[in-house]
Structure 1
């Protein structure tokens, strides 16, 4: 499709989408394929638009409209503080807005109307949390927007910038990462979405771009202090020539988080923008220009990692010296009397670890989001860790989307611990390993399928991320180039092709194509994706291979500009990189990833997941190649992130503020691994398990250790005395039936003794039975967790029933196959069923937890919430109700009650031959009610000096 035809397609798409939305609203009927056909009939018969159908495919329009109409949007949620805030944003203030209206029109051709409506509502919500830029005096609002990785945060803050400029914010600073490529990429996006022109360096005229092609009025063009070039950051030459006044159009600065750049910007503000001096402090102030600062990837580079920002009594150290970038950001803010700071991130852990009282005289308050935290929901077509790796409440089948690699498939070539200058070798040769070669072929198949589907002029990318060292990346680059060159030569010149072609045909038909079917069945909705035979693929292979380029991503702006330069033809690129690929940088049309980094920090690991995002029209050809260990860690991350989001939702429902959520995150039991500097915790970490669900999913695969835990469980249950049938609960919803045994009011000392006798596996970084026992004993001092409910839970009856007795009580063993192969352990994805945490609730408690579950339901697909309201209470809401109670409904808190759930796993069903005929594997889960208690326990496990921590994370040679 030519560029002009693409614009005609987008115009028709926008018109059809608007007409569909209007018809659906006026008829109060859902959009159907028939309704879409009627709209297209109307347009094709209209004298003004019928000629447009001669250059576009009607079927493509029809399919795209079906896809868009099937999308749903989740609901965002906000925790806020009204301190020193005056509500101001209403319909009257939004009249006559220019920048948002043209951006909205521009986005109509890029996203479904449901997503556009959500973008409008979401940016209104965020803007309303900021202050009215027309408000006089001194004000300061600092907030945080939490999205999903690669979920469209840039679109959100572009929309927010447009609305802020319409409302009257005059200086808009966007902190765009630490590297040139991300800064340039962000500049390009804002050129298109806000400025309306391409900021080409040294150009005589700046051509219209994006919104500027919709609205050609030059008089509304915002001013740009930076450009998209390699040296387009804020510089001295620009600073010396810039003068601004309140009457001018808004100014946009897109700058790196770089010491030199920020010092230059701060100097310019002090010497060219300030208009008053604070009589008390002597600080120069800007009082006539309201500032909005957007901090993209705000957890990276912006957080003060210095120690002791407050004294032992919680008072701020006014002489504290923050780290350089943090200090410069705060100093810039501190020179404005009217300012708003909004951080954007998908991994908010470091931001919430910021001390809420941190402040100095020179730099002003720290960047804690005291005003608000907004959690953005993902649309139904977003593919993130929850859907790829599952969560504690949802376990996806083993989809071919992820190819889990054993150490033997890459370790010889790229050991986890290697030094700068390392020369990778496979089978003694300087060549890619078989697994990387397989992934490159998968990318070739993906590009071929996309070409056959008419997506050949769209970008397609592959990520290779295996080392942080640029010297090693260069060696990888040469090896990948050589492999691609070999494929290209054989197919274009038919040299020694017969054996390779036979192999690739078998691989495509038996593995890749079948995988496409599985992925579509599990994850693709509202799309019809076409299959192709090997003959079809073979026909386009030479052209596809000829188009593929191999690039090293080294942080230059050119890396970000390549996509823009190839907009009409589509870039097909294999990107080799390390840290420069780890954050923020979007790889357009990412199809294939080969990813071996083994950092153990949640936030870094999440940000490295460039493969998350939107894959409309080609999700079934996407593949991720990564290690067994990484698959497990991403599963843990999905659980950790979801638990925090659930807690966030509960706090929103309770009307809490950001500071209260920050306190909860700091002690969250699962967040035991993030940057120690960002957590400012060189000492043992203090942990609470209140409000948490803990479940064992990692076990020893040695028979003697399995037997030891079985004996401990046998002794524990034997001492409890007679049980009641598990069906004899206080309340069981209609249609439910249970298999197992129940004990009530068991003493905490018995539970503690069991936990101290049971040995959790060392690789189970979150579940440490001795630490949990310590926590229970601490809570007992406040009269909490003193009377336990114990449930021995068996599998529902079926053809594979296998009963075993423990403690004299027979139970049907669960079947759980290992998720990944490990030499030293047996790992499963999840243990409990969603209903298990509701065991022995009273009917009012069950109903209250269900009501809260429905109230906090966000329809967020990546959180595996589904499209329908929950029909049974969810775990976090159960724990919330038990811990808080609902006095208005006569429900008292039951913080004395803990729930211990015990299970027997069938060793023969584990998939581990060495476990045949072993004792049953004892697994357990504990559901702790939430609590206002500040009792914690000290976790010594993750106390490590900088050398040890650096070694774990590849920082130290």
Structure 2
């Protein structure tokens, strides 16, 4: 599509989108294909010249796609301390920067997403202070988004609104590398400044093409060139800033030299007051907004002992350099707001909320607010790519898991700088990487045939952090691409290659596309193509592909802007510079072997997350089986964090009350040890948790020992009732199994001490759980238990019932997920309804009501399209622990629930379990509690708020 054609397409799209929004509001119904045709017919008369340049079918497809998008609901924890509410409709009248940014975004995102952006930026801005408010004020918050989900677009909108409201100095902290800083500056040129900040001419771009009024142009103290960061020359040229001037923006790296220059300029050219007590230079007439992009990276103080053992701040503490300089910048303004943006807040929640020094001011703990952004329905993130830690490979259609022997002979997990990768003794790519490159070639071909040839398409290869090794990989990849190109353009020695690629495309790639569409694509019709179609465009596709090395020493760059008309087709090979923040436009294929062991580092490396409208089905991720497990575990950890967050929001808590636990993996660490100075491997509570066994030993003697322990446990319980004989069974539900009520805690503790959990189990350590129950008994909690033995409740009953403790039950089928030599791992054990066993009807309905209130309609959380029709586990545990006073529902903290299951060893897919006893699995649902009873566990990490206790925050 030419530039003029694209301009016409965008113009029609923007107009049509607005007309459809009004038509849908008038009809009080969703947009239909008939509505789209009707509005386009009107526009074809009004915009006749533009319609000649565009493909009407493509317009219809894009409008159908956009009309099907939804956006979930955000959630915010906030503190009203020293905050005056100020943002209302009257205050927003006449806002220029937001209006033109909104208009600019109309052609780029669905109106539902634009409306959501408006709501989200209002929500964050309202948590900041009115910039016109007199006196000193300080608001610090955190916005938690999703990896590659549009955080830059969100904070660009926030910047526009903040500038409209009267914030005069806006500083954007944009990563640690020049290319990321430059990329951010380009985005802000387009969305806020309205001109290209790379020369004296400063031609209009983005919003500047919508509003050409030079009198409203903001000022920029930095530019988009690679060396365009804040320099001494900038400081001299800017001079002094007055409150009457249009706002100034500075897009700077988190770099010691740059931040020191900026701080020097603030002290010597901007400050208008000196604090008579401390002698500190202050800016009192210019309100400041600091946006900290990737706030968990570089900004967190990793110094030791910011707070002593009693929780008191050490005012003489010396923070680490970047943290110190950011805090110092804020400390020189009497009116300031700081907003951190991150998708991985694991490091930020470990900041001690009392950390403060006299010289640098408070630490960056988000004391004012934490906002969790919901993802639009077309966002593809960890929850959809990896499911959970227990998802099987067949559940993950985007992922091609690699066995160790498919990459380790070429790139061992541990190698040194200077290592020379070899495959089968030759200087070439391994077969799995060659397959991935061909997958990218097919993706480019399909996109070209779909009319997306002028769009960017990228492939990521991330296998080592050493630049010398990256260079060797670049040479191998470039040679393989040259070979493919040479054969297809010259027809030399092509017959066997073409035959194998035809088979690969028809039998693997094409069915993979169809599987992805079935599992993940909605609201789109994506066309398939025959091998003949693909073959016809392969020479051109291969000729367009470029191989780029992206690291600190390479001169290559991802020059997307220079290729806007034709679309850059690039294979990007690198390490840290590709790992965080840098956007790979049109990313289709990823080959990822990096073995970082930290939640936040791994998640940020997930460049493959994001939006893939029109081509999700051609995307593929090649990574190790171990990484698939790790990412699944991280997805679980992130969801646990969000669930905890939602419950705190429902309770009206503040960030200071946000006691948070984060899963700790047996191999992974949550974030770097340095960032966890304020976290303690510590005293643990299971209150409010669901624990379930999903990892089992595969030795027959261990299986038998657990079966015998269960047999003794159930035998001691006495007669059971039918599992359908509950206090309340919702209409249409039927159960298979046995139920015991008012079982003593001693019986449960004895069982847990007898049961052998596997050492690789991330959280389930039976003796520790038994210790916890004993501790809670001292406060008369978890003293009476409900025990359920649960069998398969639907489907053909073709397996014989097995007896345990004299009770007959049919076994569940649970196939193993990943092959391990020492264990049997399964998918999630329990059914969602199981935690509701033996609730009273009022409890069940209260838990359902709370589940619906905390439902965010967030696709990446795998919540489903509709609000839940059954209560969810976290909300059940909350209702049991807290009760609902207004509904007359008392707390039942004395009641625990343990659910027992027999898994069929023959259906496990594990050779070692043939002829074994049934595998006993169990789950425990703990009601929430305010008890301070804890047990020691080095596998769980808690932030300072939790280990400080929730009752200490009243000063």
TM range (shorter): over 0.9
Instruction: Specify the SS of the correspondent of 2:930.
Output: coil
Task: State the Cα distance separating 1:897 from its structure 2 match.
Answer: 1.5
Q: Distance in 1 between matches of 2:877 and 2:615?
A: 40
Secondary structure of 1:317 counterpart: coil
Deviation at 1:721, TM superposition (A): 2.1
Deviation of 1:283 (Å): 0.8
- SS in structure 2 of the partner of residue 35 of structure 1: helix
1:646 equivalent in structure 2:
643
- Residue aligning to 1:582: 579
1:219 aligns with 2:215: yes
Partner of 2:4: 4
Matched, 1:604 2:616: no
Is 1:79 the counterpart of 2:77? The answer is: yes
2-structure distance, mates of 1:527, 1:558: 39
CA 1:569 to 1:389, structure 2 compared with 1: closer, same or farther past 3 Å? same
1:289/1:681 CA distance change after superposition, 3 Å: closer
Specify the alignment match of 2:543 in structure 1.
Answer: 546
1:737 counterpart residue number: 734
**Pair 393,491 (structure 1): closer, same or farther in 2 beyond 3 Å:** closer
Match of 1:656 among 653, 656, 663: 653
Please give the alpha-carbon distance, in whole angstroms, between the structure 1 residues aligned to 2:93 and 2:773. Answer: 57
Contact 2:899 2:922 in 1 (8 A): yes
- Residue 277 of structure 1: aligned partner: 274
Give the aligned partner of residue 688 of structure 1. 685
Q: Partner residue of 1:471?
A: 468
Structure 2 counterpart SS, 1:774: helix
Partner of residue 36, structure 1: 36
Shift in Å, 1:124 = 0.4
Alpha-carbon distance, 1:767 to partner: 2.1
Aligned pairs for 1:334-353 within 5 A: 334-353=331-350
- Please give the secondary structure, in 2, of the residue aligned with 1:641: helix
**Distance across 1 between alignment mates of 2:450 and 2:794:** 46
CA distance in 2, matches of 1:210, 1:628: 43
Contact 2:664/2:762 (<8 A) preserved: no
Closer, same or farther: CA 721–863 of 1 in aligned 2, 3 Å: same
Among candidates 839, 842, 849, match of residue 841 of structure 1: 839
Between 1:933-942 and 1:633-642, the stretch displaced more is 933-942
CA distance in 2, matches of 1:804, 1:231: 72
1:236 and 2:259 correspond: no
Query: In 2, distance between residues paired with 1:767 and 1:737?
Result: 29
Structure 1 equivalent of residue 770 of structure 2: 773
SS of equivalent residue, structure 2 residue 300: coil
Q: Which range is displaced more, 105-114 or 545-554?
A: 545-554
Match in the other structure for 1:137: 135
Cα pair distance change 1:308/1:935, threshold 3 Å: farther
Q: CA deviation at 1:526?
A: 0.6
**Contact 2:71–2:858 under 8 Å retained in 1:** yes
Stretch deviating more after TM superposition (597-606 or 333-342): 597-606
Query: Does the 8 A contact of 2:142 with 2:370 survive in 1?
Result: yes
SS at match of 1:826: strand
Supply the distance in 2 between the matched residues of 1:768 and 1:376 (Cα, whole angstroms): 34
Moved more, 510-519 or 686-695: 686-695
Instruction: Mark the runs of 5 or more structure 2 residues left unpaired by the alignment.
Output: 942-955
CA–CA distance in structure 2, aligned partners of residues 555 and 730 of structure 1: 65
Q: Distance in 2 between matches of 1:177 and 1:560?
A: 17
Distance 1:456 1:867, change over 3 A: same
Aligned to 1:924: 922
1:558 Cα shift?
A: 7.3
Could you tell me whether the CA contact under 8 Å between 2:550 and 2:557 is conserved in 1? no
Are residues 1:432 and 2:429 paired? yes
2:146 corresponding residue in structure 1: 148
Q: Which residue of 2 aligns with 1:25?
A: 25
Residue 745 of structure 1 deviates from its aligned partner by: 2.0
After TM superposition, the structure 1 = structure 2 runs for residues 385-784 of structure 1, keeping only pairs within 5 Å, are: 385-391=382-388, 398-555=395-552, 562-661=559-658, 663-665=659-661, 673-680=670-677, 684-784=681-781
- Counterpart CA distance in 2 for 1:267 and 1:627 is 48
Contact kept, 8 Å, 1:643 with 1:876, in 2: the verdict is: no
Q: Deviations over 1:340-373 (max 9, x none)?
A: 0000011112111111111110110111100001
Distance 1:638 1:849 in 2: 24
2:374 is equivalent to residue 377 of structure 1: yes
CA distance in 1, matches of 2:459, 2:478: 13
Query: Quick one: distance in 1 between partners of 2:275 and 2:814?
Result: 67
**Cα deviations across residues 297-345 of structure 1 (Å, max 9, x unaligned)?**
1011111122222223222111111111111111110000000000001
Question: SS where residue 562 of structure 1 aligns?
Answer: coil
Looking at structure 2, the residues matched to 797 and 228 of structure 1 have their Cα atoms a distance apart, in angstroms, of: 61
Distance between the aligned counterparts of 2:10 and 2:457, measured in 1?
A: 20
* Structure 1 residues 396 and 485: CA distance shift in structure 2, 3 A: closer
Distance 1:674 1:825 in 2: 27
Give runs of aligned pairs for residues 88-107 of structure 1, distance below 5 A: 88-107=86-105
- Residue aligning to 2:111: 113
Query: Which of 816, 822, 825 is the equivalent residue of 1:824?
Result: 822
Relative to structure 1, is the Cα distance of residues 559 and 939 closer, same or farther in structure 2, using a 3 angstrom cutoff? farther
TM-score, normalised relative to structure 1: 0.96
Change (3 A) 1:129 1:558: farther
Structure 1 residues 257-336: aligned runs within 5 Å: 257-336=254-333
| Aligned pairs for 1:869-884 within 5 A | 869-884=867-882
Shift of 1:854: 0.7
Q: Confirm or deny: 8 A CA contact 1:359 1:365 kept in the other structure.
A: yes
2:947 corresponds in structure 1 to none
Cα displacement string for residues 483-520 of structure 1 (whole angstroms, at most 9, x for unaligned residues) = 11111111111111100100000000011001111111
Alpha-carbon distance change, 885 to 668 in structure 1, aligned in 2, over 3 angstroms: farther
Give a deviation string over 1:496-555, Cα, whole Å, max 9, x none: 110010000000001100111111111111100000000000001111111111111115
Give the equivalent residue in structure 2 for 1:948.
none
- 1:669 & 1:619 partners in 2: Cα distance? 30
User: What are the Cα deviations for residues 836-878 of structure 1, in whole angstroms up to 9, with x where unaligned?
Assistant: 1111111111000000011111111111122211100011111
| CA deviations over 1:653-704 (Å, ceiling 9, x no partner) | 111111111x233799999633222121686333222211121212222222
* Structure 2 counterpart of 1:938, from 936, 939, 944: 936
Distance in 2, Cα, partners of 1:767 & 1:257: 40
Paired residue total:
938
Secondary structure at the counterpart of residue 86 of structure 1 = coil
Counterpart in 2 of 1:898? 896
3-state secondary structure, aligned to 1:940 = strand
Unaligned runs of 5+ in 1: 944-957
What is the Cα deviation at residue 941 of structure 1? Answer: 5.0
State the alpha-carbon separation in 2 of the partners of residues 299 and 61 from structure 1.
40
| Other structure's SS at 1:266 match | helix
**Distance in 1 between residues matched to 2:143 and 2:919, nearest whole Å:** 43
Q: Pick closer, same or farther for the CA change 1:308–1:176 going to 2, 3 Å.
A: same
Deviation, structure 1 residue 765? 2.0
- Contact 2:401–2:624 at 8 Å: present in 1 too? yes
* 8 Å contact from structure 1 (residues 174, 254) kept in 2: yes
CA distances 1:98-117 after superposition (whole Å, capped 9, x unpaired) = 10000000000000000000
Distance 1:542 1:503 in 2: 17
- Measured in 2, the distance between the counterparts of 1:798 and 1:19 equals 50
Measure the CA separation in 1 of the matches of 2:804 and 2:607. Answer: 47
d(CA) in 2 for partners of 1:300 and 1:751?
44
| Distance (Å, rounded) in 1 between the aligned partners of 2:481 and 2:110 | 37
1:796-822 Cα distance to aligned partner (Å, 9 max, x none) = 242253222222222211111122222
Q: SS of the counterpart of 2:395?
A: coil
1:254-276 CA-to-partner distances (Å, cap 9, x unmatched) read 11111111111111111111110
In structure 2, the CA distance between the partners of 1:794 and 1:763, relative to structure 1 (3 Å rule), is same
Give the whole-Å Cα distance in 2 for the aligned partners of 1:10 and 1:591: 24
